[in-house]
Amino acid sequence: MVGLVVVGLAVVIFCVGEFILGGYGCSDVPPVLKNLGVDFAPWDPGTGRAGAFIFARDLSTTSSKVFLEFGATVEWPGGTKVLPTFEYYVDKNADVYAVADGVVKYVEFQEETQDWAIGISPDPRSCWFIDHDHVLNPTVSTGDKVSAGQVLGKPGNWHDPMLGRTEIMIVKAVHENCVAYAPFKFFDNALSEEYQQKVWRLMSDWENFVGDQTVYAQENMIYAGCLYESLPG
């Protein structure tokens, strides 16, 4: 798959297998994002919901967050990772949406997590792809054309009975060289401010819900939910 590890103070992204999608002469036109892959809404204390997100104190999520930001540092069994994704812990029955128009480059089953990864590129020869990681019941196949907002499936498996997990990652891949980019780096200009406000609101609502205003380092973010513009390989 595509992954990222911390080596000393360096961040390294690696591409293997079918994820080496680019090549010399590939099309260098990046995708244009038009949504964030799941539903965002202001937190409603009456329902405990914020769009697809569930606000509850007994949830089992990574780093005790329902949203993990681009550049978040987390501890996993294999060590420390810096996430090159937006990672969501949402209602397991929520919809997962394509974030951009394009063509499906791969729909690949992941044995370890027992869910699917779906890659969408702006065109078949693109250096770029969006990895929709951790999806169940995929609705698309390799070669399909998709539109932003189209339902791709349901969130992938997670070990909390209420939750599923899903991620988006925007990558430029040329042979073994990969760079992951902050989602808002390539967002539709007419929609960027609206969706950044959704992310700012979600982070603020979560901090208010847990009673801790230091959960997210908003002051260090260059876009909403993004601690870096890119994470180079």
Residue range of the domain that includes 171? 2-232
Number of structural domains (the chain) is 1
Secondary structure (DSSP) of 49-93 = EETTEE--TT---GGG-SEE-BT-EEEETTEEEE--SEEEEEETT
Q: State the CATH number of the domain containing residue 155.
A: 2.70.70.10
The token duo for 202 is 């979600």
List phi, psi (to 5°) of 83.
-80, 125
pLDDT in tens, the chain (233 residues): 444 443 332 333 445 334 444 455 789 999 999 999 999 999 999 999 999 999 998 888 888 899 999 999 998 788 899 999 999 999 999 999 999 999 999 999 999 999 999 999 999 999 999 999 999 999 999 999 999 999 999 999 999 999 999 999 999 998 778 999 999 999 999 999 999 999 999 999 999 999 999 999 999 999 999 999 999 75
